[in-house]
Structure 1
Amino acid sequence: MNLSQMTAFRAVMEAASLSAAAEKLGRTQPAVSLAIRSLEDSLGLKLFERRGRQLVPVPEAHYLHAETSDILDRLSSVAGTMKSLTAGQSGSLNVASMPGPSTFLFPRYISRFTGSNPRIRISLSSRTSPQIRELAATQGFDFGFADMIGREASAQTFRQETIAADCFCAIPQDHPLAQKQVIAWKDLDNVPLGLLQSTHITHQKTVAELRRAGGTPNVVLDSQFFLPMMPFISAGRCLSVVDPLTAVTEHEVDSTGGRVVFRQMEGGFRYEYTIISPVFRPLSQLALQIKDGWKNEVMDLLAKAGARPEYFPSAPDQ
């Protein structure tokens, strides 16, 4: 039996006549009749008694109808599922993000993309950037979003797409530097600063830029992430040089009631984000669409913030 024979057979069983079956299938009546005869020949069994223009099914035909209907319905379901998967409308998604974006921006985007679609299952994790790289090396998720911490991607483990953008200075609203639109590095000479931990590349680059401008670093607070610094900054405890998505997030959630403002830094290093995907785990259409959409979302958010984003795709050999 083949698919064409089973389709014709079910149509004849469910239609009032051979002509009605042909019309339902969009085929000619001789073509449907030929399919029925070839099916009977392959089975060695007459499935219908010919009574004039009527085809009356024999008892065995009713059994075959139930079985072929199950097969055809299952094939239709599989075809529908595959179309849904191809269109990115169903499937499983396993993603991870560093803590800053994972608090608001990343889940907001994922929820907006997937909507209320019950056919999409989501696993969303908040991990540090080193942890995300370790997961990617073990092919442990679809993709992750991290910051660049001075480690290049390995051609053997994961790919990195990079987005670079300008940093911002987070300042208490009533601080004198809040009156400036652009902050020079020398403006931070001996100013109390909150930075990421000393092992983080951003801490090291901030200190290096400040010293290059002839200033003295005065680090009074260190934190694993930027967002926990916002209450200290709003209280006037310190300033901080932060990544631009932290500025976007604080503008969106307004955790300090507007008591922290952000000003662009004058030159210096650019903050780098990476979209990381495993080498040996090809992305599904769903994951690919969401990954590419997230890249566009980040670029748009950074552009609106005035951070002048640049995108660098994975190298061809990665």
Structure 2
Amino acid sequence: MDITQMNYFITIVECGCNLSLAAKRIHISQSALSQFITHFERDEEVELFIRKNGRLDGLTASGKRIYKFALDIVSMHEEMEDTIRKEAAKQKGTIRIGLPSLVLTVLFSNFFSKFIVENPDVKIEIVEEGSYELKRMFFEKDLDYVVLVAPTDLDPKSYEEHVIQIDEYTAFMNRSHPLASKETIKWKDLNEFQIGTFKESFITNRLVKEKIRKKKSKAEVTLTSASWDFLVETANHSDIVSILPAPIKRYLKNDQVVMKHFDDPIPFNVLLCRPVKTSYTPVETFIHESMLSYFYQPID
């Protein structure tokens, strides 16, 4: 029984000997799973499962002992694989990862602080720039990975993308603002107000201006900055409405600033991107899988 078959065996037991459920969980056909059991028991001359009315109905005494060994061996194999990835990562040079400053703050700060502490021998260089500059560096192969806000406009044949955050852009304003009492804001509600958002080197600037034009709003972007807290603070002391990604709300320190949703919001979707290659180095795979596992939550 190899590692893959051990995982099959463990999954069958974890699913209460329900082959249909186990097959769905490990993404193989039920017949293939049934054949694995039949062939193994025949070839090794040992019965793993008790049968009742043609169905699996628990483990035999032998099956229980083998199951315990399988659990231990799979656990040790996973530990070994993790060690191999980490040791291989030590033998590779620095990996450069480009991110917009805001994305680094609101999404990646906890990840990188923990990753660096747990993997001191893996060399990472974090590059903070606006989306357009990051894309230029990525195209010129100055970055191994880049985190971008959609749309990335990358060629799917040349670049791999993974969505790691789905959210939206919202409006930030002071509590006494005329729009602060509204449940949600329509784009035409902005007609009489000045708009603040990120500067032109950020994809946000383009998305906000395109939305304003599409909605035929009379609002104009009159204030731009690379600093989200400056934009929020300016909104606090004026009637300017700052349009920024919703996750910023978690970092607000001023309770006089409120966030309002749009009835037709601009999506704020963040993607992890890397070049498509025939193969990746162990350290590239390790970092890639670490980032994805941090953001992807299992669905029961």
TM range (shorter): 0.5 to 0.7
Partner residue, 1:263: 260
Residue number in structure 2 paired with 1:289:
289
Which residue of structure 1 lines up, in the alignment, with residue 219 of structure 2? 217
Q: What is aligned with 2:161?
A: 160
Q: Distance in 2 between matches of 1:159 and 1:275?
A: 8
Contact 1:146/1:275 (CA < 8 Å) preserved in 2?
yes
1:195 corresponds in structure 2 to 197
For 1:237 and 1:177, the matched residues in 2 are separated by 10
> Which structure has the larger Rg?
1
How do residues 1-318 of structure 1 correspond to structure 2 at under 5 angstroms?
84-86=83-85, 91=90, 93-103=95-105, 105-148=107-150, 151-153=153-155, 155-156=157-158, 158-162=159-163, 163-197=165-199, 202-224=204-226, 226-245=228-247, 247=248, 250-252=249-251, 254=252, 256-280=253-277, 282=280, 284-296=284-296
Letter in 1 for 2:275: P
Match of 1:292, as an amino acid?
L
Structure 2 unaligned regions, length at least 5:
1-78
1:166-221 residue CA offsets vs partner (Å, 9 max, x unmatched): 22111113323222232221221121211334576544443444455453113321
Query: Structure 1 residue runs of 4+, over 6 Å off?
Result: none
2:49 equivalent in structure 1:
none
* Structure-2 separation of matches of 1:101 and 1:88: 29
The answer on whether the counterparts of 1:171 and 1:260 sit within 8 Å (CA) in structure 2 is yes
Secondary structure of the corresponding residue to residue 107 of structure 1: helix
- 1:128-162 residue CA offsets vs partner (Å, 9 max, x unmatched): 21232233334434422122356233634x32234
Distance 1:217 1:272 in 2: 24
- Give the superposition deviation at 1:97: 0.9
Query: TM-score by structure 2 length?
Result: 0.58
Query: For 1:11-45, what per-residue CA distance to the aligned partner results, in whole angstroms no more than 9, with x for missing partners?
Result: xxxxxxxxxxxxxxxxxxxxxxxxxxxxxxxxxxx
Once the 2 structures are TM-superposed, how far is the Cα of residue 264 of structure 1 from its aligned partner?
1.2
Q: Distance in 2 between matches of 1:87 and 1:198?
A: 40
Alignment RMSD (CA, Å): 3.5
The normalised TM-score by structure 1 is 0.56
1:121–1:188 Cα change, 3 Å: same
- Give identity over the alignment, percent: 15
Unaligned 5+ runs, structure 1? 1-79, 300-318
